[in-house]
Amino acid sequence: MADSCGRKLFVEVCNAKNLMPKDGQGTASAYAIVDFEGQRRRTKTKFRDLNPQWDEKHEFLVHDMEAMASEILEVNLYNDKKTGKRSTFLGKVKVAGTSFSKSGSESLIYYPLEKRSVFSQIKGELGLKVYYVDEDPPAGGAVAESEQKPETTPVAEEKPPENQEGKESKVKEEEKKEEEKPKEEPKAEEKSNENPPENPKPEESPAVEPEKPVEVENPPIAHTEKPKQMRKAKSETEKLADLSVNDLELRSDRSRRAYDLVDRMPFLYVRVVKAKRESSDGGSSSMYAKLVIGTHSIKTKSQSEKDWDQVFAFDKEGLNSTSLEVSVWAEEKKENEDQKAENCLGTVSFDLQEVPKRVPPDSPLAPQWYSLESDKSPGNDVMLAVWLGTQADEAFQEAWQSDSGGMIPETRAKVYLSPKLWYLRLTVIQTQDLQFDSASEPKSRNLELYVKGQLGPQVFKTGRTAVGSANPTWNEDLVFVAAEPFEPFLVVTVEDVTNGKSVGQAKIHMASIEKRTDDRTDTKSRWFNLVGDETRPYTGRIHLRICLEGGYHVLDEAAHVTSDVRAAAKQLAKPPIGLLEVGIRSASNLLPVKTKDGTRGTIDAYVVAKYGPKWVRTRTILDRFNPRWNEQYTWDVYDPCTVLTIGVFDNGRYTRQENDGVLKQPGKDLRVGKVRIRLSSLDINQVYSTAYSLTVLLPTGAKKMGDLEIAVRFSTFSWLSLIQSYSTPILPRMHYIRPLGPTQQDILRHTAMRIVTTRLARSEPAMGHEVVQYMLDSDTHVWSMRRSKANWFRVIGCLSRAVAIARWFDEIRTWVHPPTTVLMHILLIAVVLCPNLILPTLFMYAFLILTFRFRYRHRTSHNMDPRLSYVDFVSTDELDEEFDGFPSARSADQIRVRYDRLRALGGRAQVLLGDVAAQGERLEALFNWRDPRATGIFVVICLGASLLFYAVPFKAFLFGFGFYYFRHPRFRGDMPSVPANFFRRLPSLSDQMI
């Protein structure tokens, strides 16, 4: 059981900063209450201190290791009632179980104090260290005693024995009524076992425990929920994602809803196990089985032990016969000859109309012996099983598949994970005792030095510093992108600019570099010895400060289509707020992209979906223009303002053509189209099943390649957490406290893209670099006349709304519509006489208009928009410029330099135009219900503001707003405000750009 694991959780309450005064005398006497799984600990009271220091360590027992990730550690701060009339609330902190670190990797983290209600006045931060320790379980009889210890916990003692016996009797009655019902929630099962009746008989325990695994592993046919066998069909990544869900009911609901967004595809399954031969020399020859269904023919592996155990899955829609024929063949070598003689041992036929059907959670069909019909060698048998199932069958993933080319690895469905990325900050401070090469050192030295850092293929340099003193100083930061598993060494080299030679270098083990989560704790600087060549083992020393920044999120995709915003450090992880389920159904009317046998066009299509670090790749459907995948995948959602990217490609890597006996390298996967879906535009628990148009940009222009049908559902665990996420910053705190420059961030983003591309290309089977670059939009910031025009017209489109309002006022002034002009005169008189009604009227008008426009909101706006991307009006010369490489391949050197300079400047202007257009589109999306939740929040704000301004005089509001706007800097926070965070989360049309 999980209770005997011996895991303990340690919480060290270190200190708090900038607490809110609560005792009426400008101070507070704070103490903390730590709560974990019903276990509470209290710290000492620090009297009259707004920055208390506790440094107290508290120990908690972890009853269930598997459920620890779903638990919440809560720390509440109170003002001691001894210093006031009552204990007042100072704030709270909630730490998810997924962020608990193991002993040895813990660090001090400052959590901002949260409010208990909307009207709480809270400020400050609390510093905690949270880690767990796994202890070895006791041996022998001590194990049994440890298993009984949880029965005597204080929580169990509070309940009377009668209730415990009543609970157990009720459980036994339910087990008698539902003997065949499997138990999908092991945690609930363990809790029922923790409270047995007092003084149990020693002979009862061994009789009860062996029955439980039997119920789990042999579920009945009539059970409606999906058992453990169905959950095995999930990928390993989805199993890991299940552990992070903080509710066991949601976890079972996820398994129950598997394959509910796609159609069930019928497959004919044939499991060939082994054969039995009656002849005397049966063990000396190799045997194989052959399956024939109409024009489909496939052989098993040939081996002498006659035990194949292979599964074959035939797409039922592609079958052109109603009978299955299985034959067994023996291969025997002729005497004094290298040739093999094949001898048929017999056949057995099956009528497909009589094949039984199997639907999970039914148990697997047991294979049985069938007699082979043969006139030459009777008495031979073959063991096999034949059934009709769907792609939800657990045997499907490992079976030979007729629609994807059999057992080809490059055509199978796979799940990939991006490497975990960190920022590595190298601060070069100074050098001392530098020793130069005596042969090349001039007498009057006027040298310039710089420091070069190298991590794998990444190389960054500091500025130049003249050697005017013995200790050259830089104080510069070099930031690298490091991917787990890290490179073995970080190489730091001091080089001379005048002769280009190295003064010395230092190799730093990556395992010795410290990790930090914020800027409150600076890492210690260290001195490293510089080593020259073999004749110079010591050439000085260099002063460095190195750390792995865990408080940043390393961007590895374009900023406007990001799918993950979590920090790199596990300690800063937050629990997921929802679940994203995607069903990749089918494609229709795909166009051929290559030729087969040099005679006809064909396409071998597969789909890649990317969200967060998880990439999924469907199986490749060979030679079909209307492929059907019907595969379903699941992701955990940590932020609703993220984008799911789905791309369709033609598989060009599974075939290796042979030319003169030499295998050629596999071809590249061709782009067919791409779809992006912003999660914030989806309604909760609603299934969107839509066919999206696939448009790809070619050197000849935009071309529609077909349609992709997918089903998407976004569900949330807590509606309150989803709404609260709109008021939090998009990126982690370090991006705002110590922001990276735009140029530096762009360089690091492209570096991260290259790292992800390289790592995924090293998988087996590899995901092509052209696929990863297309999914990550690695060429977004490259100059393109078409993109610049598109962004320019987006800006014009936003400005046209202001022009329309100006024209409307001009029409009112010129009495184009007299009733409207009369109403405006009445409104002008009302504003002059009652100025306090201006703001309430405006907010009430916005509330009514937005409520009226709710039914006209955009239902589906995820298609790539060719008109918005300006692909229908681009010239051939501009397309040639867009598909031209960078740098340009022009013949004249002068033209190439000028052309590249123009493209670089144009790329910056292009990004600027896109950012300006995005701000206007965000404001427009607020009124068009593109993000229903954001607009809903704004509607509620409008209604509340309207009622507030009816009660509060405008002069009082103006007076309070002025004082609030000009408040002292010490009363301002260092993080973006709630309105700024809300506005930045509003969707723009950037995610629909091609």
Amino acid at 354: E
* CATH fold match for the domains 6-135 and 266-402: yes
Q: Give the confidence band of 443 by pLDDT, cuts at 50, 70, 90.
A: very low
Q: Give the confidence band of 438 by pLDDT, cuts at 50, 70, 90.
A: low
Q: Output the CATH code of domain 6-135.
A: 2.60.40.150
Q: Taking residues 545-570, report their average pLDDT.
A: 91
The residues with which 676 forms a beta bridge, in sequence order, are 645
Quick one: which of 291, 290, 327, 285 has its CA closest to 306?
A: 285
959 or 314, greater pLDDT: 314
Cα separations in angstroms, 939 against 716, 918, 993: 21, 22, 29
915 or 782, greater pLDDT: 915
For residues 543 and 527, give the distance between their C-alpha atoms in angstroms, rounded to a whole number: 5
Measured CA angle at 30 (ends 25, 35), to 5 deg: 150
Measured CA angle at 729 (ends 725, 735), to 5 deg: 150
Beta strands 541-549; 526-529: pairing state? antiparallel
CATH homologous superfamily of 266-402 equals C2 domain (2.60.40.150)
Predicted pLDDT of residue 543: 94
352 or 249, greater pLDDT: 352
- One-character DSSP codes across 520-556: SSPPPPEEEE-B-STT-S---EEEEEEEEE-SS----
Predicted pLDDT of residue 282: 46
For 198, phi then psi, to 5°, come to -65, 150
Beta strands 594-596; 600-602: pairing state? antiparallel
For residues 641 and 410, give the distance between their C-alpha atoms in angstroms, rounded to a whole number: 33
CATH homologous superfamily of 570-656+667-776 equals C2 domain (2.60.40.150)
Lowest mean pLDDT among 56-60, 230-234, 399-403, 805-809: 230-234
**H-only helix segments in 248-290:** 248-256
Quick one: which of 131, 97, 128 has its CA closest to 9?
A: 131
- The pTM of the whole model exceeds 0.85: no
Q: Is the pLDDT assigned to residue 541 strictly greater than 50?
A: yes
Amino acid at 844: M
Structure tokens at 128: 């905690």
For residues 664 and 655, give the distance between their C-alpha atoms in angstroms, rounded to a whole number: 9
For residues 650 and 622, give the distance between their C-alpha atoms in angstroms, rounded to a whole number: 10
Predicted pLDDT of residue 85: 57
For residues 232 and 268, give the distance between their C-alpha atoms in angstroms, rounded to a whole number: 20
- Model pLDDT for residues 645-671, shown as the tens digit of each residue: 999 999 988 875 544 445 456 788 999
Q: Taking residues 928-934, report their average pLDDT.
A: 89
Q: Is the pLDDT assigned to residue 403 strictly greater than 70?
A: yes
Structure tokens at 553: 């999120």
**H-only helix segments in 186-286:** 186-194, 205-208, 211-217, 228-232, 236-243, 248-256
For residues 306 and 304, give the distance between their C-alpha atoms in angstroms, rounded to a whole number: 5
Q: Is the pLDDT assigned to residue 893 strictly greater than 70?
A: no
The residues with which 607 forms a beta bridge, in sequence order, are 648
Q: Is the pLDDT assigned to residue 184 strictly greater than 50?
A: no
For residues 490 and 492, give the distance between their C-alpha atoms in angstroms, rounded to a whole number: 7
Architecture of domain 420-436+461-549: Sandwich (2.60)
Helix (H) or strand (E) holding 661: none
Residues contacting residue 883 through CB under 8 Å, at least 6 positions apart = 699
Predicted pLDDT of residue 777: 86
- Model pLDDT for residues 279-309, shown as the tens digit of each residue: 655 445 788 899 999 888 899 888 776 688 8
Give all strands of the β-sheet with 88-96 in edge-to-edge order. Answer: 39-42, 30-36, 72-79, 88-96
DSSP 929: T
Q: Is the pLDDT assigned to residue 216 strictly greater than 80?
A: no
891 or 382, greater pLDDT: 382
Q: Is the pLDDT assigned to residue 393 strictly greater than 90?
A: no
Q: Number of C-alpha atoms within 13 angstroms, CB side, residue 105?
A: 13
pLDDT above 70 coverage of the chain, percent: 78
Write out 715-776 in H/E/C secondary structure.
Answer: EECCHHHHHHHHHCCCCCCHHHHCCCCHHHHHHHHHHHHHHHHHHHHCCCCCCCHHHHHHHH
Most confident of 187-191, 427-431, 717-721: 427-431
For 610, phi then psi, to 5°, come to -130, 125
Beta strands 448-455; 465-466: pairing state? antiparallel
Most confident of 203-207, 660-664, 974-978: 974-978
Predicted pLDDT of residue 336: 54
Tokens 């010591």 belong to residue: 538
Structure tokens at 562: 């990001």
For residues 772 and 610, give the distance between their C-alpha atoms in angstroms, rounded to a whole number: 10
- Model pLDDT for residues 331-346, shown as the tens digit of each residue: 876 665 566 778 888 8
Residues contacting residue 406 through CB under 8 Å, at least 6 positions apart = 298, 400
For residues 146 and 139, give the distance between their C-alpha atoms in angstroms, rounded to a whole number: 10
The number of residues making up the chain comes to 994
Measured CA angle at 423 (ends 421, 426), to 5 deg: 145
Q: What is residue 582's three-state secondary structure? A: strand
Q: Which residues of 760-796 are buried (b: 16+ CB within 10 A; e: fewer)?
A: beeeebebbbebbebbbbbebbbbbbbbbbbbbbbbe
**Burial, 983: exposed, middle or buried (Cβ in 10 Å; 0-12, 13-18, 19+)?**
middle
Q: What is residue 619's three-state secondary structure? A: coil
For residues 930 and 682, give the distance between their C-alpha atoms in angstroms, rounded to a whole number: 9
Residues contacting residue 673 through CB under 8 Å, at least 6 positions apart = 647, 648, 693, 694, 695, 696, 705, 706, 708, 864
**Maximum C-alpha span of the chain:** 117
Helix (H) or strand (E) holding 324: strand 323-333
Question: Is the torsion defined by CA of 830, 833, 834, 835 positive or negative?
Answer: positive
Q: Are 380 and 374 a contacting pair, CB within 8 Å?
A: yes
Structure tokens at 64: 């269930």
Question: Is the torsion defined by CA of 358, 362, 367, 368 positive or negative?
Answer: negative
Q: In the chain, what are the domain boundaries?
A: 6-135, 266-402, 420-436+461-549, 570-656+667-776, 785-992
Lowest mean pLDDT among 42-46, 671-675, 701-705: 701-705
Mean pLDDT, all residues of the chain: 79
Q: Is the pLDDT assigned to residue 153 strictly greater than 80?
A: no
Q: What is residue 25's three-state secondary structure? A: coil
13 or 810, greater pLDDT: 13
**Burial, 223: exposed, middle or buried (Cβ in 10 Å; 0-12, 13-18, 19+)?**
middle
Q: Give the confidence band of 905 by pLDDT, cuts at 50, 70, 90.
A: low
